Chain A
Amino acid sequence: MRKIDISEKISNTAYIPIAIIAAILMIIPVYILFITSFAVPSDILKPHPDFFITRFTLDHWKDVFLSGNIWPPFKKSFVVATMTTIIAIIIAAPAAYVIARMPSKIKYAVVLSLFFTRMFPDVGIALPIAVEFIKLNLMDTYLGLVMAHLIVNLPFAAWILVGTFETIPKDLEEAALVDGTSKLTALMRIIMPIALPGIAVTAIFVWLNSWNEFTYALYLTISDRTLPLQTYYYVQRGGIFDSATYAAILTIPVMLVTFFLQKYMKSGYLAGAVKG
């Protein structure tokens, strides 16, 4: 009979309460955000607002949607985040595959160099980068923001994907090559599908980073704001309910993207491939 040590016992019994506490801590701010956006002002504008509100109103949502100020920034943020994600995956996935197959010494040097651009805070490098982009007439363009967001996200995307490709046995592609497929076909048909969970994680990560990005958007937009800038505007101007509504709208696509991409994050892909 297998011996169960104390730490295993604790983790077996404690993980449920810990998981519940962690979930509550993460959900409460989102809950407060949403109830504020649906609350009757007098229920919130008091020293100790009730945790559960009983009166709901759609007025704040109506105001935001009827103002005509929501769709342009929403569209801009959505298009930029999606384009950034697609381009980041297209560039980072093959690069990461090549890096993963390099000899260890070279590989770590390359991975380290990937993070060179990330060694400086965005606020420090945003101005010189913005200046160059403005010279290229990229102010207020989708392309300018996509390129700026790629600067931030490509190193991380490549790093995550290097880890993913490292876990895929080299034998799989070698077997495919023996069967007569080309290296590119082996990559596209054998390796990429197995790497799908890692690619999904990377895509979510990049999309969320781009969706929430603020610093470059601040420098590179003057007429058409992104949604985080629009939300910031209302927060700055003291409108509690408008701010909460914009922030709630900001979180909805995040939930949807995470929901739709998380199904690719199941662990069965690799197991199935190895058995096959």
Chain B
Amino acid sequence: MRKFYAKVIAVLVILSLLGTLIAGCGSKNVSDARKKVLKVSMGLGEAEWKVMKEDIFPPFEQKYGVKIEPLQIEAGDLIKKLDAMHKANAMDIDIITQDNMQLAPLVAKGLVEDLSQYRDMIPKEVIPSLVPVGEFDGKLYFMPYRPNVEIAFYNEDKFNEYGLKLPTNWDELLQVAKTFKEKEGIGRVIIKENLGPDSTVQMFDLIRSAGGDPTVLNDEGSIKAFTLLKELQPYLSPDSKKADWNTPVEYLAKDSVYLVENWPYTANVLVEQYGKKNILAYHGWAGPVKESHVLGGEVIGIPTGAPNKEMAIKFMEYLMSKEVQEKLVTKLGWPSMRSDAYGKVADWQKPYFEAINEALKHAEPRPNLVYWADVDKAINGALREIIFEGKDIKTTLDKYHNMIEEAKKAAESK
């Protein structure tokens, strides 16, 4: 019996020693070794990682004798991880590429370095509207990297079957939605109304297309946008309430939705992975004043306290280079941040690439507001009350306009 207890105690001792050993791995030697590694965080799909690992990283690794460690971290999760590492004073990521829809929390929490002193690194060939995306209060926190824009995906078979033309304005959009509903008894057009960041993007497009300002929210353009949405509502797909950036892929793949605006990666999954060649895309529709799309995409940032900042700066410059941008166009069909980077996209990508480039002509960045979360809440609060609860448009928008104004004052007084 004594032997048995001795074994139990031995196991416990070994476990605690093992724990101490692992916990104690923080010596100066490790820190020196860390300088030979560049930890790069990106949120990419499998095919995109393949290009990064085979075509983008190796030339940089060879030139600077560094090993790039790729980290797959989704945009929302990146904020949590950086926050935890920052609070622990143990940052372990050197460079990030981040969705430009999720920049404000990084700046507000002090998780990224001020890159203003490196402003000259931005190539002069950059598309000008991409630079302000990375600026907050006059400081440059993020460098341009990859522009992106939502395009309209449609089911070619169904449009042909019902003799429909692609809608280019709000009236035609309403007509198309009505026709699908009449023919099939259920709505087949999606306007994202998930009361999250995705519906905010959609409302931005509609409000700006009508000449309004989504951060004002009770102007004439905003009223027109909500009026259109209320009129469209009976003819929309029930999936509109669940639609985010991810779900339209499934809806289009299963032919349960025939028209939806979504991010271009949709084509990669539908065409490359699922072989759905009947899903095509175009740039989308205009409103009564203009065509407008939120300028999405990714920017480059350096986390506060990045252990290998010097190398990260070099890698940042490399990502913005013509060499890399041309590869990204050619290999992934990503539109370039530079006006001089021309690549040759694969045949299957051409129609989608054209749609993206056309939509980019009408792309507008979102304003970088420290009270962005309040704007987001206000837009979705108005959406919920007007569309789902049937409340009066003007009264509701006035209420949420006041909410944004209060948040603005609070932010300015800090």
What sequence of 0s and 1s flags, for each residue 245-273 of chain B, a beta carbon within 8 Å of any chain A beta carbon?
Answer: 01001100111100000000110010001
A139 engages B92 (CB within 8 Å): yes
B81 engages A47 (CB within 8 Å): no
- In this assembly, does A78 line the interface, its C-beta being within 8 Å of a C-beta of chain B? no
B254 engages A222 (CB within 8 Å): no
- In this assembly, does A130 line the interface, its C-beta being within 8 Å of a C-beta of chain B? yes
- In this assembly, does B138 line the interface, its C-beta being within 8 Å of a C-beta of chain A? no
- In this assembly, does B407 line the interface, its C-beta being within 8 Å of a C-beta of chain A? no
- In this assembly, does B73 line the interface, its C-beta being within 8 Å of a C-beta of chain A? yes
The stretch from A5-13, A237-245, A256-264 touching chain B is: A237-245
- In this assembly, does B3 line the interface, its C-beta being within 8 Å of a C-beta of chain A? no
A131 engages B87 (CB within 8 Å): yes
Known: A137-B24, A139-B92. Is A236-B74 also a contact (CB below 8 A)? yes
List which A179-224 residues lie within 8 A (CB) of chain B.
184-185, 188, 218-219, 222-223
List which A115-159 residues lie within 8 A (CB) of chain B.
127, 130-132, 134-139, 141-143, 147
Known: A222-B81, A239-B269. Is A139-B4 also a contact (CB below 8 A)? no
B255 engages A238 (CB within 8 Å): no
B254 engages A239 (CB within 8 Å): no
Q: Which of B5, B84, B269 contacts A184 (CB 8 A)?
A: B5
Interface size band for B? 35 or more
Q: Which of B12, B77, B275 contacts A41 (CB 8 A)?
A: B275
- In this assembly, does A233 line the interface, its C-beta being within 8 Å of a C-beta of chain B? yes
A222 engages B73 (CB within 8 Å): yes
- In this assembly, does A90 line the interface, its C-beta being within 8 Å of a C-beta of chain B? yes
> In the complex, what distance in Å separates the CA atom of A119 from the CA atom of B84?
22
The stretch from B14-22, B338-346, B352-360 touching chain A is: B14-22
> In the complex, what distance in Å separates the CA atom of A225 from the CA atom of B22?
18
Nearest-CB residue, chain A, relative to B88: A134
- In this assembly, does B69 line the interface, its C-beta being within 8 Å of a C-beta of chain A? yes
Whole-angstrom distance between the Cβ of B73 and the nearest chain A Cβ: 7
Residues of B within 8 A of A236 (CB): 74, 246
- In this assembly, does A67 line the interface, its C-beta being within 8 Å of a C-beta of chain B? yes
B274 engages A143 (CB within 8 Å): no
Nearest-CB residue, chain B, relative to A127: B84
Residues of A within 8 A of B269 (CB): 237-239
Known: A222-B93, A233-B72. Is A127-B85 also a contact (CB below 8 A)? no
Known: A127-B80, A236-B246. Is A132-B255 also a contact (CB below 8 A)? no
Residues of A within 8 A of B85 (CB): 134, 139
Q: Which of B1, B81, B253, B273 contacts A219 (CB 8 A)?
A: B81
Whole-angstrom distance between the Cβ of A57 and the nearest chain B Cβ: 13
Q: Which of A67, A87, A137, A142 contacts B46 (CB 8 A)?
A: A67
- In this assembly, does B410 line the interface, its C-beta being within 8 Å of a C-beta of chain A? no
> In the complex, what distance in Å separates the CA atom of A222 from the CA atom of B249?
27
Residues of B within 8 A of A (CB): 1, 4-5, 8, 12, 15, 18-19, 22-26, 39, 41, 45-46, 69, 71-74, 77, 80-81, 83-85, 87-90, 92-93, 246, 249-250, 253-256, 265-266, 269, 273-276
Minimum-distance CB pairs A-B, first 7: A134-B88, A238-B249, A130-B84, A131-B87, A45-B253, A131-B88, A135-B88
Residues of A within 8 A of B (CB): 41, 44-47, 49, 67, 87, 90, 127, 130-132, 134-139, 141-143, 147, 184-185, 188, 218-219, 222-223, 225, 233, 235-241
- Given A67-B46, A240-B253, list of 12 further CB < 8 A pairs? A41-B274, A45-B274, A90-B12, A127-B83, A134-B85, A142-B22, A188-B1, A219-B81, A222-B93, A225-B72, A233-B72, A237-B269
